[in-house]
Structure formats: structure tokens, C-alpha cells
Structure 1
Amino acid sequence: MHNPSKIIEGGVEYSLGRFDGKSVQYDFPKILVYLNAKGKLLFGEKFKIYKKDQDILLKLCSYFIKDKENCKKFDIDLDKGLLLTGPVGCGKTSLIKLLHFLVPHQRKYVVMPCRNIVFAFNHLGYKTIEDYGESNFFCFDDMGVEPMGRHYGKDCNVIGEILLSRYDLFLETKLKTHATTNLNAEELEERYGNRVRSRMRELFNLIAFDKKAGDKRV
């Protein structure tokens, strides 16, 4: 029988906690050991889990492992997606790419840079909005700094339109959306407008890095 509390990476078995046959009692320090090892495999030896990020990681891990008690404490709604915010280089994209490996039995999302989606729109037009807005499980990376879309001379706020479609999809099917951004709430509203901003409140749990979180890429 498969034991979901154990994951094998690079020939090494990692324990994430205890499995009683029905559910896993996760152990946060063990999760951090696993994430550190998996991160190095994915992103290279320079990757590491920083002590100062452990508070935000506890929130993120609680969400992914569906720890109802912690999620209640942190005011996280398990039915919504995640909007992970923080300054440039604080590690948002790496973490969002890493965390779904914790729960290999759950449905995976595809991490897509928003600027790539806009470039696709510029070539293919409104079909791109359908492709990203009406199905599948996505994490939109680096939201809010992508250029304006332009197809046959017409401007389009591509990601804003996709978010409106994702909101309708969420109401119909409960399919979640995740995203990362460097922008704060006011900047997002300026970028996408009030209507999209109010939909975002219903689509996402906001999880924010400290504004002073340093750039880990230097």
C-alpha cells in the first residue's frame, strides 16, 4: 500500500510525518528538510530554505497539505487559490514550483509566466484568453508587470480578461487559480481595474512575504 507520508527523491526516502492508514500527521520540520532537498534537485545547489521564510512556508504548507486547523488560524480558505506576493527575487516562483511536490496525489498546476501568455495573445489573439481562462489548473507567474496585449492593432489587458474568465470558471467548477506578483493590492487595482480586483478577492488567499524580504538572486 502506498504511504503518502514518504517521498523518494534522488534515491533518498524522505518522511513528511506519520501515516495511520487514513491520513498523514505532517511534521513541519521534516517537510522543510524535504523541500530543501527537492529544491536543490530542481533549482541547483544554491537553493536553500531560509529561516526567515519559515512563517510564510508554514502558511503555504498548511494550505497544500490541507491542514484545516492551521488554515483557520491563518484565515486561509482551502476552496480558493493562492496569490503569493512579495518583492522581486524573494523566492515566490521557486516556492510555488516546489510546493506541489509535497502532495503528489493532488492535481498539479502549470506555472505560466504572464508575459509569455501576452506574447501568445499577440500572435494568436482571443483564443489565448479562452485557452487560459476556460479550463485547466494554472499558476500565473509574475502577474501585473506583463506588457499590454496587442492583436491586429487592438489593445487588450490580457491577464485581466483571463482572470475574469477564471472567476466564472471558479463559480461553475470550483477550479482554482494560483498567481504570484510583486505588486500590492493598490498597484494590482491600478493595473487591472476595480472589477478584476474584486474578483481576485474571491479567487485568492493573499499570502505575502515581508516587504523587506531580500533579493535571494544576488
Structure 2
Amino acid sequence: MRYHAPHIITEGAIQYPLGTLNGREIQYDFEKILIYLDAKGKLLFGKKFKIHREDREILYKLCLYFIQDKARCTQMGIDINKGLLLSGPVGCGKTSLMKLMKHIVPHQRPYEVVPCRNIVFGFNHIGYKTIEDFGNSQFFCFDDLGVEPIGRYFGKDCNVIGEIMLSRHELFINHKRKTHATTNLNAAELEERYGNRVRSRMRELFNLVAFDKGSKDKRM
């Protein structure tokens, strides 16, 4: 992927303008961003991918966050300095959207989307170094937060993702490093899973952006 200017993204032989350049500022156009996201989604996930009309509101919030439109984000109660916790029912498209959204801002530092259960499997093999690795200064989106198994290393149980969240919070406070995540769980379920201390850190780490509870399963 190449881009000639931050507002024009080139995929193969096709150029996608996401807006217009006004001096050094990009005036983004939401409809144009959706055209690009639909095309990029098909490249990443196959021809069946599509942008669903009922997701426009959530996409609008995500777009405002990623293009760092501070004024509009503030109106919507989104802090552009915090990460995103994208929540919603199984199959509503959270993971795909988090894999997709970073492509509209190729000039920003990308984050890696990592399934929480894979992190726990890694911990079970190599132990506490896993927590260090994911608590480091890289940018991550932790996928499927809260449904991973408890970690177990040399007979000792560990709430691996809970420990990583504490490290990520420290990183956020000291170095402004953002963390993103997706989850099927609500706030009460997250607190039950990780405890009050981690849940309160999550409030500081994340903006909560939630799909409607009735969002359909797009994998059907």
C-alpha cells in the first residue's frame, strides 16, 4: 500500500481520496471513507465483506476517533487520548472493524490485533515473559477480551490479561501509549472476570464504543 498524500490511499491501481487537503489539514468526507473501507474490507476479508447500513453510527464514531477529530469526539464523549474498547454481541463485526480502521490513517503508528486466548496459550508455554511482552511499549488491540481461559504456568494460576491490563495502564499513564480491545462482555461481566481494580484501570484506558445489543450475527 502506498499513499501520495495522507488523504489519498492507493490500493493496487486504484486511488481512494478520503477527503480534500486544505493547507496541511485534511477535510475528511465520511461517505468517501466508507467507500474505501468497503473496498479494503473486501481485499482483507473476501468479496462477501460489506459495510452494513445499521453500522453507520458506530462507524462514524470510529472514523472520528481515528482521524482524531477532537471537537466532534468531545461532543460524543470520546477522549481521543484514550484507547477504544469496542463491545457488542458475537459476530457483529468488532474484530473486522478494528483490523480495518487503522488503514484509513496510514500515517499513524499501527497497532497489532491479537486474540486474548492466544496470549494465554503463550503464557502457558513460556510464562511471565508473555506478560512483559504485551505490557511493553508496542500498540495492541486485544481481541475477545474476557472469554480467554485462566493462564496456568508451573501449576500456578494467573489472570494473564488482567495483569497485562495493569501493565498497559501504567504505560498509558507514563508514556501515553494507547491500548485497544474488543469484547462480547458488558461492564459487570468484565468486573467479575478481572476484579474491581482492573475494571477501574480499564475505565481510564478505554473509551467504550458499543454495538446495539440487537446487532445481527454477520457470520451467518
Shorter-chain TM-score: what band? over 0.9
Q: CA-to-partner distance for each residue in 1:12-71, whole Å, 9 max, x for gaps?
A: 111111002301000000100000000000000000000000000000000000111210
Match of 1:122 in 2: 124
Q: CA-to-partner distance for each residue in 1:157-196, whole Å, 9 max, x for gaps?
A: 0000000011011111000000000000000000000000
Match of 1:132 in 2: 134
Alignment match of 1:107 (pick from 106, 109, 116): 109
| Equivalent-residue separation in structure 1 for 2:84 and 2:203 (angstroms) | 10
Match of 1:17 in 2: 19
TM-score (norm 1): 0.98
Match of 2:170 in 1: 168
Q: How many residues align?
A: 218
Match of 1:217 in 2: 219
TM-score (norm 2): 0.98
1:33 aligned onto 2:35: yes
Q: CA RMSD in A?
A: 0.9
Alignment match of 2:145 (pick from 137, 143, 146): 143
- Superposed displacement of residue 135, structure 1: 2.1
User: Which amino acid in 2 is paired with 1:35?
Assistant: L
User: Which amino acid in 1 is paired with 2:207?
Assistant: N
State the SS of the aligned residue for 2:214.
Answer: coil
For structure 2, which runs of at least 5 residues remain unmatched after alignment?
A: none
State the SS of the aligned residue for 1:201.
Answer: helix
- Superposed displacement of residue 2, structure 1: 3.8
Alignment match of 2:83 (pick from 81, 84, 88): 81
Alignment match of 1:181 (pick from 183, 190, 206): 183
For structure 1, which runs of at least 5 residues remain unmatched after alignment?
A: none
Match of 2:195 in 1: 193
Q: CA-to-partner distance for each residue in 1:116-173, whole Å, 9 max, x for gaps?
A: 0000000000010000012211000000000000000000000000000110111110
1:71 aligned onto 2:73: yes
Alignment match of 2:100 (pick from 76, 82, 98): 98
| Equivalent-residue separation in structure 1 for 2:185 and 2:14 (angstroms) | 38
| Larger CA deviation: 10-19 vs 184-193 | 10-19
| Equivalent-residue separation in structure 1 for 2:143 and 2:37 (angstroms) | 20
| Equivalent-residue separation in structure 1 for 2:148 and 2:29 (angstroms) | 38
State the SS of the aligned residue for 2:177.
Answer: coil
State the SS of the aligned residue for 2:47.
Answer: coil
- Identical pairs, percent: 70
User: Which amino acid in 2 is paired with 1:75?
Assistant: G
Q: CA-to-partner distance for each residue in 1:71-98, whole Å, 9 max, x for gaps?
A: 0111100110000000000000000000
| Equivalent-residue separation in structure 2 for 1:22 and 1:29 (angstroms) | 21
State the SS of the aligned residue for 2:5.
Answer: coil
User: Which amino acid in 2 is paired with 1:84?
Assistant: L
User: Which amino acid in 1 is paired with 2:215?
Assistant: A
